[in-house]
Amino acid sequence: MQLFIEQLLNGVAMGSIYALITLGLALVYGILRILHIAHAAIYTVGAYVGLFLFKLSGSLIIGVAGSMVFCALLGVGIERFVYYPLLKYPPYVPLIGSIAVMLAIEELCRLVAGPQILTFQAVLPFPQFQIGGITVSSTLTAVYCITALVLLLLWYITSKTELGLAMRAVSQDIPIADAMGINSHLIVSLTFAIGSAIAAVAGSLVGIYYNQVYPTMGTVPAYKTLALIVVGGLGSVPGAVVASLLLGVAETLLIGYANIPLPRDALAFIAMIAVLMWRSEGLLGSR
């Protein structure tokens, strides 16, 4: 039982990390209906910028905040200069553009910061818990708290503010939203900014969590998050969160109990194929 609870805690932490990375992708798909692969590259940049500013200033808060601003601008830049001009073409054109941006940013990170693994030696100021024989380490606590905070903020923005209302309007129908006096292009840019800022938090958090920052850290998330938004229901933010948490727990339990020869990454795609076959709208999506 104790082992089960520990594995559950590990799984929820893994799922929380997946959720943080997937959120931006779900937001962007919800509003523009494009698969924003380059989101994983923004996540990598977020880790690098966070690490750089942290080393420069010695403050983790400045590092992460600076990284959020930088990534928000980067996200908006990609939207303005890559996706916006391509929106008039069929959806695979922005997708190809996105893959190109992803590769370009990854290589740029390698050229600027070098190919080797950098370490992100920051201490996350969170407490450690000891309940019975179960230890909840401070890094696990940090992952839970930060994810909860981000989700709460995002929920507040999307459902309690006028910006959230405008975002929903734009995601339903851009021309109608425009006709109602919403500056829909501004709303799209803001959505990218929010999603990318969350990716910066995710990048920095993962960098600290594993104490590793390297140019290809976005490669696995790039395709795994894709599977996750499909499983969650394309464009559904709550769906993406639920899918991420479920996958994190499922992966961890499967590794912990069954010695499967499959690498854990395969599970996300098995889930994706199953969803596409039997419930194509996803867990929480609507047709």
Partner 1 sequence: MKITKLLILAGLVLLLGIGTAGAADTIKIGLMAPLTGFAAADGASVLNSVKLAVERVNSQGGLLGKKVELIAYDDRANGKEAVAVARKLIQQDRVVGVVAGSYSTPSRASAPIFEDEQIPFVAAYAVHPDITKAGNYCFRNGFLGMVEGKSAGFVAVQMLKAKRIALLTSDNDFGRTLAEGFKAYIQDYAKGAKIVYAQTYPFKEKDFKPYLSKIKEINPDLIFASGYYFQTGPILKQAREMGIKTQILGEEGADSPKTMEIAGKAAEGFVIVTNLNRDDPRPEVQTFLKEYESRYKIQPDMVGASAYDAFMIICDAIKRAGSTDGKAIRDAIAGTRNYRALTGEIKGFNDIGEVVKEVQVQIVKEGRFHNFGVVTDMNLITP
As measured in angstroms, the least distance from the Cβ of 284 to partner 1 is 26
Six-digit token pair at 222? 């790039």
**Residue of the chain from 171, 251, 272, 285 that contacts partner 1 (CB under 8 A):** 251
Q: Which of residues 253-272 bind partner 1 (CB under 8 A)?
A: 253, 255-256, 259, 263-265
As measured in angstroms, the least distance from the Cβ of 117 to partner 1 is 6
Provide the mask over 158-197, with x wherever binding to partner 1 is found by CB under 8 A and - wherever it is not: ----------------------------------------
Whose tokens are 């501004």? That residue is: 186
Tell me: does residue 22 bind partner 1 (CB under 8 A): no
Q: Find out whether 208 and 122 touch, Cβ atoms under 8 Å.
A: yes
Provide the mask over 194-213, with x wherever binding to partner 1 is found by CB under 8 A and - wherever it is not: ----------------xxx-
For residue 136, report the phi and psi dihedrals to the nearest 5 degrees.
-105, 105
Q: What whole-number distance in Å separates Cα of residue 129 and Cα of residue 263?
A: 31
Provide the mask over 119-148, with x wherever binding to partner 1 is found by CB under 8 A and - wherever it is not: x-x-------------x-xxx---------
Kindly report each contact of residues 116-121 with a partner whose C-beta sits within 8 Å and lies 24 or more positions away, as own/partner.
116/214, 117/212, 117/213, 117/214, 118/48, 118/51, 118/212, 118/213, 118/214, 119/211, 119/212, 119/213, 120/47, 120/50, 120/51, 120/54, 120/204, 120/207, 120/208, 120/211, 120/212, 120/213, 121/211
Stretch that binds partner 1, among 34-42, 65-73, 108-116, 162-170 (CB under 8 A): 108-116
**Residue of the chain from 216, 273, 276, 280 that contacts partner 1 (CB under 8 A):** 216
Q: Which lies closer to partner 1 via its Cβ, residue 17 or residue 200? A: 17
**Number of helical (H) and strand (E) elements in the chain, helices listed first:** 12, 2
Q: Which lies closer to partner 1 via its Cβ, residue 192 or residue 214? A: 214
Q: At what angle do helices 92-113 and 39-57 cross, to 10 degrees?
A: 30
E strand residue ranges, the chain: 129-131, 134-136
Q: At what angle do helices 237-257 and 138-160 cross, to 10 degrees?
A: 160
Q: Find out whether 82 and 96 touch, Cβ atoms under 8 Å.
A: no
Other Cβ atoms within 10 Å of 217 Cβ, number: 22
Q: Which lies closer to partner 1 via its Cβ, residue 2 or residue 277? A: 2
Q: Which lies closer to partner 1 via its Cβ, residue 215 or residue 285? A: 215
Q: Which lies closer to partner 1 via its Cβ, residue 29 or residue 214? A: 214
**Residue of the chain from 252, 268, 271, 275 that contacts partner 1 (CB under 8 A):** 252
Q: Which lies closer to partner 1 via its Cβ, residue 91 or residue 115? A: 115
Nearest to 230 by CA among 266, 282, 287: 282
**Residue of the chain from 10, 22, 147, 236 that contacts partner 1 (CB under 8 A):** 10
Q: Which of residues 27-86 bind partner 1 (CB under 8 A)?
A: none
Q: Which residues of this protein are in contact with partner 1, per CB under 8 A? A: 2-3, 6-7, 10-11, 13-14, 110, 114-117, 119, 121, 135, 137-139, 210-212, 214, 216, 220, 251-253, 255-256, 259, 263-265
